């Protein structure tokens, strides 16, 4: 039997407003829980609308009560009221004894799903709805406890060329390979789930060499809304030898949080991308 698409209409088509965090509110995390939708496609002859409305209302009240009872979270009306997460869902009855529940949890600030699951539960009485609510509330709180990804501004990798060979067509080629390095590193870190990559653009970074500016990139990263900044450099020793390095700083304090150096590697410029992805993945993803 195929589940009706009406259970969660346009789950990801809406745009959430940015999260609002009042100054000094560091106690409980705000969670907005929308009323779930309900659809009955069981084709049973009896009209159970009133019973379903009553059970769904009790389900939502218990869900908000259970999540609020955990001191880490506080139910709020919406993102404008300080919600860091939004819970949405729907329940569909497909036969006399089978119901489905679709539940999603959204990180409001990151605009990203942290949970998206489909559950089935048997029965359509008060007891079966209560059991389903207890299970769903535990699942939601487990998803809420998952660490949010770090907002990371990955700046363009820079080239430090000691061969003095980057002129003319060679310089254009170098720029192309550096762009591939930056793009690949951003993709690898973003796909890891540990980081949310913050878009870096504009003229702010073009007028200076970030590797020599003593941490000036952190101020730029903070203005962009990032938690941390990453700068990287490719040091070309010869046409077939190079080293890679990167450094991650806290965007607020400027403290160095991580750094890495590949040591001398063999390979032409087309191998920079592979080496950079391996280095940052080993130090920032696999080692944690």
pLDDT at 14: 39
- Which segments of 176-240 are extended strands (E)? 195-198, 228-238
CATH fold for the domain made of 150-285: Rossmann fold (3.40.50)
* Predicted confidence (pLDDT) per residue in 165-222, tens digit: 555 557 788 889 999 999 999 999 998 888 989 988 764 555 568 887 888 899 999 9
Q: Which residues partner with 152 through β-bridges?
A: 197, 228
Q: Output the pLDDT for position 80.
A: 81
pLDDT band at 12 (very low <50, low <70, confident <90, very high): very low
Question: How many CA atoms within 13 Å lie on the side-chain side of 76?
Answer: 19
Question: 56 or 150, which is more confident?
Answer: 56
Predicted local confidence at residue 28, as pLDDT: 86
Confidence class of residue 8 from pLDDT cuts 50, 70 and 90? very low
Give every CB contact of residue 174 below 8 A, 6+ residues apart in sequence. 159, 161, 166, 269
Residue 239: its pLDDT value, please? 83
Separation of alpha carbons 226 and 249, rounded Å: 11
Rounded distance between C-alpha atoms, residue 150 and residue 198, angstroms: 10
| Superfamily of chain region 29-145 | TolB, N-terminal domain (3.40.50.10070)
pTM as predicted: 0.57
Average pLDDT over residues 44-59: 96
Cα gap 10→69, rounded to integer Å: 30
107 φ, ψ (degrees, to nearest 5):
-75, 110
Percent of the chain, pLDDT > 70?
85
Listed in order, the ranges of the chain carrying CATH 3.40.50.10070 are 29-145, 150-285
């Amino acid at each position: 039997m195929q589940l009706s698409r009406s259970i969660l209409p346009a789950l990801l088509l809406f745009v959430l407003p940015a999260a609002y965090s009042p100054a000094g509110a560091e106690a409980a995390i705000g969670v907005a829980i929308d009323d779930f939708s309900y659809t009955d496609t069981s084709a049973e002859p009896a009209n159970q609308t009133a019973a379903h409305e009553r059970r769904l209302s009790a389900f939502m009240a218990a869900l908000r009560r259970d999540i609020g009872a955990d001191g880490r979270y506080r139910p709020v009306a919406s993102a404008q009221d300080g919600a860091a997460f939004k819970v949405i869902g729907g329940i569909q009855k497909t036969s006399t004894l089978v119901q489905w529940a679709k539940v999603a949890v959204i990180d409001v600030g990151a605009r990203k799903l942290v949970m998206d699951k489909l559950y089935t539960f048997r029965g359509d009485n008060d007891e079966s709805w209560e059991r389903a609510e207890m299970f769903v509330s535990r699942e939601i709180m487990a998803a809420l406890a998952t660490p949010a990804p770090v907002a990371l501004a990955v700046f363009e990798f820079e080239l430090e060329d000691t061969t003095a060979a980057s002129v003319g067509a060679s310089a254009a080629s170098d720029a192309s390979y550096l762009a591939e390095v930056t793009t690949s590193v951003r993709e690898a870190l973003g796909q890891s789930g540990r980081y949310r990559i913050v878009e870096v653009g504009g003229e702010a970074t073009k007028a200076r060499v970030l590797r020599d500016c003593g941490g000036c990139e952190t101020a730029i990263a903070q203005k962009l809304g990032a938690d941390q900044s990453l700068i990287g450099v490719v040091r070309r020793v010869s046409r077939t030898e190079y080293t890679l390095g990167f450094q991650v700083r806290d965007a607020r304090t400027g403290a160095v949080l991580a750094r890495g150096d590949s040591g001398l590697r063999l390979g032409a410029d087309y191998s920079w991308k592979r080496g950079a992805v391996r280095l940052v993945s080993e130090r920032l993803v696999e080692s944690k």
